[in-house]
Amino acid sequence: MIKKPVTPSVGRTPSPFVSFSPIPGLLAFSIALASGSVLANDDPFGGEDSLWDMSPEELGEMRVTSISSGSETPTDKAASMVTVITSDDIEAMGARDLDEVLETVPGLHVGRNPIANMPKYNFRGITSTYTPQALTLINGIPVSSLYLGHPSLVWGGMPLKAVEKVEVIRGPGSALYGADAFAGVINITTKGAKDIPKGTVGITAGSFDSKGGWVSYGNRETAIDVGFTLEYNETNGYDETVKADAQSLLDTITGTSASIAPGSINTGKEMIDMRLELGQEEWVFRLGYQGRDNVEAGAGVASALSPSSRFSSDRINTDFTYNFNNLSPDWNVSARASYYYNDQQVEKNNILFPAGTNTVFPLGTFPAEPLFPDGAIGNPEFREEQARFNLDSQFTGFDNHIVRVGAGYFWGDIYEVTEQKNFGDTVLPDGTVLPLTPRPGGLEEVGDTAEAFLPEKDRTNTSLYIQDEWLFADNWALTTGIRYDDYSDFGDTVNPRAALVWATTDSITTKFLYGRAFRAPSIAELFVTSNPVTLGNPDLDPETIDTYEIGFSQQLSRELLYSANIFYYEIDDFISFVLDTSSGAQQAQNVGQRKGRGFEYEISYKATQSLKLLGNYAYQKATNKENSKDIGETPNNTVYARA
């Protein structure tokens, strides 16, 4: 999990870019200056007629993005398929949480895991039990837990008062962002001093006993720019009935009647979110905190309803970036150090199966009396730390080339693994293992024993990347890049990319894209043990994906813009949790090859000054390459429209 190599400009610094447009309106060739600051007259290529220098009125509905190559580039000229959603868009759609925003992106479906109703960001039909194939960044830095490879089982959502912009790459991004940018990349840019009025305060209230409030403050009139946002939200969660759960099946097998279903899904939670940004022209410091308390179990950790279970989590992320401006006429360099802390805690017993549940013994036999009168209880907890250091540079000394080179180091450690549980495995004289049988001592701490659900593990990664952006004709630009990653527990991997952008006419742009991505198995996929829900597999191979894409966009007028693209991908050694019949748990397995194809279309029309229409349509078909069966879990067709 490697941080984004560059970040948007900070403080009062103009957004870093260089641009070139020999024919007005044909081509914007924008290259990041590795978070350095450069003024328009420092552009080694451009001129006064650069598309980047066009006014907002001339650009019309065109958006700009920095996620594809690190620079702020019009989306139609970006080196990937990108959707940009601004804070104005968020306000217009009335979204209250990040997941509601992401549901508006074509090709991205927000699914749900039964555990705490955790979101699953499924790009283009790529889905698994926890879907770690999507990389989530906050201000360009990954917020993925080593445990499962995604933000957290106790993620709890992300409110939006502190969010300035959300950028989404649909497709692989490993050539820039490392081994977890597999199916797509989500970058959340938070508000700084320039984005926040002097001071605001507000309260909210809604259905399901939802309430909250926020306060924000911004100041650019002091020696150091200050941006601050604090939010609090709580809710009892929406009321949806679960007609049958995993315990319903156990009741049928064992003759018990322990299931709580039909019953309500449990999605209540309390959230505190804080963002602080301090900056000057050369540097920026950010601090973020996300506290989650009384997070309910959703449909249950073992897919059995558990209304009394409660979880909590604290997440802290902080980073410092320094831009070494004007080291030489041809070089710009930036350095960034970041730290991330995450934990998973159990506030009230995590009841995997409710009171009165029983154990299935060999040959379908079971005890006359339920073995778990208080339910099967497992309370897994852990803490983790991550540290990153990245050095990024850009060289502009070659004609019509911008070369970016960077290096990074990552260290992550899962520690203080603890677990209380009242069950274990019983081994019969003939060697048969009976999972989920009562412990003689009842609920006991097993964190320092072989029965703990997860061993304490760490992981390091070093990375090198190089990217070249070459303007080889007036209306053709070629972006090529390659990244090398070396993992302490998985060896090395190389991920290339190529993007050919053709300014076909003064209003039409065509893209030809290729990218390869890699994902190392998460710590849970490798090492989870003694767990009735999921089991790890130390023999896993990493996942790889190759994606091919053609994109097309046209700005018919200042008010009307549309884009379309088709894609095809192939995945090797895809990892998913598969039922292990001997234990009844889901075990991580390389399930073979997958492939997918699809089509995405977006349109935006500003009908009047006060009326805007937009929408998108996406089709995807993801299949098992060996038997051509549909993977499922993600809609084949999605339509979104908003006025």
The reported pTM is: 0.89
Q: What is the pLDDT of residue 54?
A: 45
Residue of higher predicted confidence among 96 and 586: 96
* Phi, psi dihedrals of residue 504, rounded to the nearest 5°: -65, -45
Report pLDDT for 354.
96
Q: Residue 42 has what pLDDT?
A: 40
Distance CA 77, CA 65 (A): 10
355-376 confidence digits (pLDDT tens) = 999 877 665 667 778 889 999 9
Is 9 a residue whose pLDDT tops 80?
A: no
**In percent, how much of the chain has pLDDT > 70?**
89
Which whole number is the average pLDDT over 107-134?
A: 93
**Token digits of residue 304:** 């059995």
Question: Residues 3, 137: contact at Cβ < 8 Å?
Answer: yes
Q: Is the pLDDT of residue 17 over 50?
A: no
Span 37-56, mean pLDDT?
39
Ranking 217-231, 232-246, 532-546, 547-561 by mean pLDDT, the lowest is 532-546
Q: What angle is formed at CA 537 by the lines to CA 535 and CA 422, rounded to 5 degrees?
A: 25
CB atoms within 10 A of CB 118: 22
Is residue 71 over pLDDT 90? no
Query: So what's the pLDDT on residue 121?
Result: 96
Give backbone dihedrals phi and psi of 254, rounded to 5 degrees, phi first: -100, -10
Average pLDDT, integer, range 419-439: 83
The whole-number average pLDDT for the span 125-135 is 92
Q: Is the pLDDT of residue 549 over 60?
A: yes
pLDDT band at 592 (very low <50, low <70, confident <90, very high): confident
- Checking if the pLDDT of 33 tops 50, the result is no
Tell whether the model's pLDDT for residue 51 goes beyond 70.
no
Rounded mean pLDDT of 110-138? Answer: 93
End-to-end CA distance of the chain: 38
pLDDT tens column, 247-267:
999 999 888 999 999 999 999
**Given this model, what pLDDT does residue 427 score?**
76
Higher pLDDT, 387 or 558: 387
Would the pLDDT of 27 be above 50? no
Query: pLDDT per residue over 75-102, tens digit each?
Result: 888 999 999 999 999 999 999 999 999 9
Q: Write down the pLDDT at residue 45.
A: 39
Residues 604, 563: Cα–Cα separation, whole Å: 9
Quote the pLDDT of residue 575: 92
Predicted pLDDT at 405 = 94
The pLDDT, as a whole number, for residue 4 is 32
Instruction: Examine the pLDDT at 63 and tell me if it is beyond 50.
Output: yes
Question: Does 196 score more than 90 pLDDT?
Answer: yes
> pLDDT confidence of 306, banded at 50, 70, 90?
very high
| Res 52: pLDDT | 32
DSSP 202: E
pLDDT tens for 498-519 read 999 999 998 999 999 999 999 9
**pLDDT greater than 70 at residue 3:** no
Cis status, amide bond into 262, omega within 30 of 0: yes
pLDDT at 531: 81
Does 473 score more than 60 pLDDT? yes
Per-residue pLDDT at 34 exceeds 80: no
CA-to-CA separations, 376 to 55, 258, 266, 554, in angstroms, rounded: 63, 11, 18, 58
- Mean pLDDT, the chain, integer: 87
**Distance between CA atoms of residues 39 and 13, nearest Å:** 9
Closest CA to 66 of 10, 104, 17: 17
> Which pLDDT band holds residue 7 (cuts at 50, 70, 90)?
very low
At residue 130, the pLDDT reads: 87
Query: Which of 539, 521, 588, 523 minimizes the C-alpha distance to 146?
Result: 523
Query: Picking from 400-404, 423-427, 548-552, 570-574, which range would have the lowest pLDDT averaged per residue?
Result: 423-427
pLDDT(22) > 80: no
CB burial class (10 A; 0-12, 13-18, 19+) of residue 385?
middle
Model pLDDT, residue 157: 92
- Closest by CA position to 5, among listed 307, 332, 250: 332
Range list of H helices, 169-269: 174-177, 246-254
Q: What is the pLDDT of residues 166-188, one digit of tens each?
A: 999 999 999 989 888 999 999 99
Say if CB 118 and CB 153 are below 8 A apart: yes
Give the C-alpha separation, 167 to 144, whole Å. 17
Q: d(Cα 490, Cα 518) in Å, to the nearest integer?
A: 11
Which residues make Cβ contacts (< 8 Å) with residue 311, sequence separation at least 6? 116, 153, 154, 292, 295, 296, 297, 344, 345, 346, 347, 350
The region of weakest confidence among 98-112, 346-360, 527-541 is: 527-541
CA–CA dist 208, 296 (Å, integer): 14
Q: Of 65-74, 447-456, 617-626, where does the model show the most confidence? A: 617-626
Average pLDDT over residues 262-273: 96
State the residue for tokens 């598969």.
578
Concatenated DSSP letters of 256-271: ------SEE-B--EEE
pLDDT at 434 over 90: no
Q: Which residues, 6+ apart, have CB-to-CB distance to 639 below 8 Å?
A: 615, 616, 617
- Average of per-residue pLDDT across 134-146: 94
**pLDDT surpasses 90 at 14:** no
- Two structure tokens written together for 534: 């999921």
Given a cut of 80, is residue 53 above it in pLDDT?
Answer: no
